Each structure stands twice: as structure tokens, then as C-alpha cells.
């Protein structure tokens, strides 16, 4: 009777202990068909900024660096994380850039806060409107994620 109770306990707890694997959609990602993911960076809250950067790392860990393209598009308050004189994550941005994560800043936001493209961290590109860049990337097949 005790063995039956133990067996039932194991069977009931097994789903909680087992880790489900993510099923990849077809076609599977590869160097010639990478997943394309845009992460929105739209707040200067340090928790939000760090969450976005961790998401970029986790995507590359999961898919493999050659199997995923990651772009982080900053607009609104998120642009401040990419300003050379204000960024508290400059080293992490540089590290992610070394792993081919693309960083894009909103030109409208830069203008609104009285800053110029030269005020950004090295290698950050600028588009006219960050929100429009999200729309266009989605229409080009990128998956837009708002962490």
C-alpha cells in the first residue's frame, strides 16, 4: 500500500519536475535561416534595461549565435541607456555588440532630449523613428518582443 502511495505521488509530481522542451517551428533556424528578433527598449528603468539585455543573451544561448539575429531598438526613455555619458550598461552593450547584437536608437527621441547621434555609445545606429522601425522590421519577418 505504501509503495502504491509513493508511485502515485511520483506520477502526480512528475509534470512539475519535468522540464518541457521548446518545439521549434519549421523551418528550423540555421545559419542560412536565422530567427530574427527585435527587442523593444522603451524605458530607462534599470530593471527594464537589464531585462532586455538578458533576453538578448538568452536568445543567443537558446538558438546559438549563428542561428538568431537580435536587434534592440531603443526609443523613449530607453535611448538614455545608450547615451555614452549616461549609460550604466555600456560594457554589456559593447559585449553584446561583439556577439553581433544590433543596437538602434530613435532619432526622434534624440532630438526631443536635445542629443545627437554622436552622443550614443559606439556602434549604435540611428533611425528616424524607433516605433516605425519596429513596424517595418515586423513586416520584414522579424518577431517583435516587448519584454
Cα 75 to Cα 58: distance, rounded to the nearest angstrom: 22
Q: Name the CATH superfamily, with its identifier, for domain 25-145.
A: DsrEFH-like (3.40.1260.10)
Categorize the per-residue pLDDT at 20 as very low, low, confident or very high, splitting at 50, 70 and 90.
confident
Cα 40 to Cα 132: distance, rounded to the nearest angstrom: 12
Given a contact cutoff of 8 angstroms between Cβ atoms, the answer to whether 99 and 61 are in contact is no
Residue 9 confidence (pLDDT) above 60: no
Categorize the per-residue pLDDT at 34 as very low, low, confident or very high, splitting at 50, 70 and 90.
very high
The edge-to-edge listing of strands for the beta sheet with 102-106 is: 125-127, 102-106, 68-74, 35-41, 143-145
Task: Quote the pLDDT of residue 1.
Answer: 60
Categorize the per-residue pLDDT at 21 as very low, low, confident or very high, splitting at 50, 70 and 90.
confident
Amino acid at each position: 500500500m505504501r509503495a502504491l502511495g509513493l508511485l502515485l505521488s511520483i506520477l502526480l509530481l512528475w509534470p512539475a519536475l519535468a522540464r518541457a522542451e521548446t518545439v521549434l517551428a519549421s523551418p528550423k533556424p540555421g545559419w542560412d535561416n536565422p530567427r530574427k528578433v527585435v527587442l523593444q527598449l522603451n524605458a530607462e528603468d534599470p530593471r527594464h534595461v537589464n531585462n532586455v539585455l538578458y533576453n538578448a543573451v538568452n536568445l543567443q544561448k537558446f538558438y546559438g549565435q549563428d542561428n538568431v539575429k537580435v536587434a534592440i531598438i531603443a526609443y523613449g526613455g530607453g535611448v538614455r541607456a545608450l547615451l555614452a555619458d549616461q549609460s550604466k550598461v555600456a560594457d554589456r552593450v559593447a559585449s553584446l555588440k561583439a556577439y553581433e547584437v544590433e543596437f538602434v536608437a530613435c532619432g526622434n527621441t534624440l532630438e526631443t532630449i536635445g542629443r545627437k547621434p554622436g552622443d550614443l555609445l559606439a556602434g549604435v545606429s540611428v533611425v528616424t523613428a524607433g516605433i516605425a522601425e519596429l513596424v517595418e522590421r515586423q513586416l520584414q519577418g522579424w518577431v517583435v518582443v516587448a519584454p
